[in-house]
Every structure is written in structure tokens, then in C-alpha cells.
Amino acid sequence: MRFVPHHILRADGTQGIANNIMPASEFQLIEHYFSRLGARRSDVPLGVGDDCALLQVPPGQQLAVSIDSLVEGTHFLPGVDAESLGHKALAVNLSDLAAMGAAPAWVTLALTLPRVDEAWIEAFCRGFGRLAARYQVQLVGGDTTRGPLSITVQVHGFVEPGRALRRDAARPGDLIYVTGTLGDAGLALLALQGGYDAGEHLAALQRRLERPEPRLAEALALRDLARGAIDISDGLLADLGHICEHSNVGATLQQAAIPLSAALAAYVRATADWSMPLAAGDDYELCLIVPADRQAAVEAVGQTLDLPLSLIGRIEAGGAIHCLDAAGNPIAVARGGYDHFRNP
């Protein structure tokens, strides 16, 4: 819906629009850029264009829904390229579906733009649309308004009752796995802000920050072996902390088992700072909780994935998370994690 001041009441009682936020071309803009973005799905009887989309949830499936906003200056640096932003806005949402073990289907997009910059919108749609097509996701609706740059995406996916990977499912003795490598996005941000010279690793790190890959294939391959999962958006300790709180358990991690990229290994060697892989956010890897008797089965599936799957620790009774060094001594790392409303 447009802002109220832009609606006028005509003398004959019908409503009109005094001054579109996107002048004259708002509807063409939507038609041109947003009406055919992503996949074409047979479970969308009516997509972009009417007051609502009409969507058909397949029989026997639950709808998994999640929404995330990206605000300039809070979630991304001003001036970041629009294609990366389009990719990331969708990727972080698809990551939530992956963490739930849900298969993606539909997406809506609320865009607030300071001005109509068609080159920007086109690049944004390229990044968004390519990722959507790759995962068979259809853009089915949204809203376009003027204001400080912000992007809100809501995803919808399907999961059969009882098969979702919930945060409250961990039990003492369960194994903790993570996909990929940890800390790369945090190190990228530090390097881009001039706090670290990443040298030859900079481009690879920047890609991890700006073009995260949702771990959907991994989640769906492991869904029926794992008990629960979370995606690492706020840092391993913070996100594993959510699993522990919801499940009333604690955890012990083995520092030496934390998977590091070449760039992170070089950083840790140079600085002895483990806060990047343990507490920095924005990686969008999965942390999976697996019953111990399924270790062999999980690792067999792990062999078939494109990414490493690393066993990093165990769920314990009690509420604390400990991280042990190679000699078995606890190391102190602030749990960290970004909290938008924490007092400074």
C-alpha cells in the first residue's frame, strides 16, 4: 500500500492516486522488474499484479514462513553493489528455510528506495532473480515505496508435519556438526573496514560476506538424520546458544575441530583471535544436531555434499557452552552475537 497522502478521494467518491511514490511509472516498474522474477511454479494460481497473490500449499505439507529485513548502515555498508544486495536479501531468508529443513517455494519483497534508479533496480533484480531461479522460488508479491533504503523479504516453504529441524530438539549426548567454514564473513567485514590486511584472500572473503549461499541442499540431504538445526547468522556461540536455551541443554566444543578457510587459518595464526570463527556472524552455515547413533550415516551423507561437514562437539546436560583447546583446557571467548537492541 502506498502512503496515505498519496491517495486522493475523487469528487465521485472513487479513490485515486495523487502522486505515486514511483512517479507515473510505478506500475510499469513493478510489471517490468517484479512480475516475472524467479521460477514459474504451478502452485501459484495468481502471482504479482492483483491485490493478493493466490497460493496453493500442497496437500500434506506445512507452510514454513520467515521474514528478514536488510537496512542500509545496519546490515550492509552504504554503496554495496545492488546485485550482491539482491542476492543476499534472498539468501539470508532461504537460509532460514534451510535451517528448518523446509523446501523453498514462494517469496515476497518489500523494497523501500530513496529514488528510482533503474540501473540499481535492474542489478538488484539480477542478483535476486538468479538465486530465486536456482532454487525454484517464485516472487509472488511485494510492495514498493520511497524512503531510506531498506529491503524486507519473506519466504515461504514446505515441510511435512514432524520433519522440521527445530531448535528445541537437542538432547545430551547429541553430536554437533557445522557445514562449510566459519568466520569468513566477519573477517571480510574487518578487512573491508581496514582493520585487517587479507591480501590474496580478500576477494574470496568478500564473496562470503556479500554472496552467502543458503545451505538448502545440505539441509534437505541431512534433514531426516538430524534432530534439529539453526543457521549461523549471529555467530556460532550465539546461535548454538539459542539451541541450548530452547532445548535446556549445554554444549562442549573442540576448538581444533572448528572448520577454517585458508584465510581464517592465516588470520588465527597471525592474531590468535578465535572470536571470528566462534562469535562473528553473517556466515549462514548450518549448525546441525544429530543423535550419536547416526554418526556413521550422517558422515556418509556428508561425503556426498559439496562442502565439508565437521563434527565440532557434543550436547551436554546443564546450560553452559564450553570450548576446549587441543589440551582439553577451556578457552574464554565472549559469546558475542549481534543484538540490535542491546544497550551500548
- Which window, 1-9, 91-99, 109-117, 222-230, contacts Mg ion (CB under 5 A)? 1-9
Binding site partner of 308, from ligand ADP, Mg ion, none, Cβ cut-off 5-8 A by kind: none
Residue 276 near residue 205, CB atoms below 8 Å: no
Minimal CB distance to ligand ADP: which residue? 142
Q: Is residue 86 part of the contact set for ligand ADP (CB under 6 A)?
A: no
Q: Which is nearer to ligand ADP, 1 or 203 (CB)?
A: 1
Q: Report 11-50 residues binding ligand ADP (CB under 6 A).
A: 30, 34, 48-50
Query: In angstroms, what is the minimal distance from the CB of 319 to ligand ADP?
Result: 43
Task: Lay out the site mask for Mg ion across 104-123 (x = CB under 5 A, - = otherwise).
Answer: --------------------
C-alpha cell of residue 111:
523494497
Q: In Å, what is the CA distance from 256 to each residue of 2, 4, 41, 171, 253?
A: 53, 57, 45, 23, 9
Shortest distance, CB of residue 4 to Mg ion, whole angstroms? 13
- By a kind-dependent CB cut-off of 5 to 8 A, residue 50 interacts, out of Mg ion, ligand ADP, none, with ligand ADP
Q: Select the residue interacting with ligand ADP from 5, 12, 15, 51 (CB under 6 A).
A: 51
Pick the binder of ligand ADP from 85, 139, 236, 280 (CB under 6 A).
Answer: 139
CB closer to ligand ADP out of 49 and 147: 49
Q: Which is nearer to ligand ADP, 82 or 263 (by Cβ)? A: 82
Interface stretch with ligand ADP, choices 8-16, 57-65, 134-142, 278-286 (CB under 6 A): 134-142
Residues of this chain, 110-129, that bind ligand ADP according to CB under 6 A: 111
From the list Mg ion, ligand ADP, none, partner contacted by residue 48 (C-beta under 5 to 8 A by kind):
ligand ADP
CB of 128 to ligand ADP, least distance (A): 9
Q: Which is nearer to Mg ion, 143 or 224 (CB)?
A: 143
Task: Give the one residue of 1, 24, 119, 272 binding ligand ADP; rule: CB under 6 A.
Answer: 1
Query: Other CB atoms closer than 10 Å to residue 49's CB: what's the count?
Result: 13
Amino acid present at 90: L
Residue 113 CB coordination number (10 Å): 20
Among 117, 143, 224, 306, binds Mg ion (CB under 5 A): 143
- Cβ-based nearer residue to ligand ADP, 141 or 183: 141
Report the residue closest to Mg ion, judged by CB: 143
Distance of closest approach, residue 21 Cβ to ligand ADP, in angstroms: 9
CA distance 160 to 170: 20
**With contact defined as beta carbons under 8 Å apart, do 227 and 287 qualify?**
no
Is 4 a binder of ligand ADP (CB under 6 A)?
Answer: no
What are the cell numbers at 223? 534433514
Binding site for ligand ADP (CB under 6 A): 1-2, 30, 34, 48-51, 109, 111, 139, 141-144
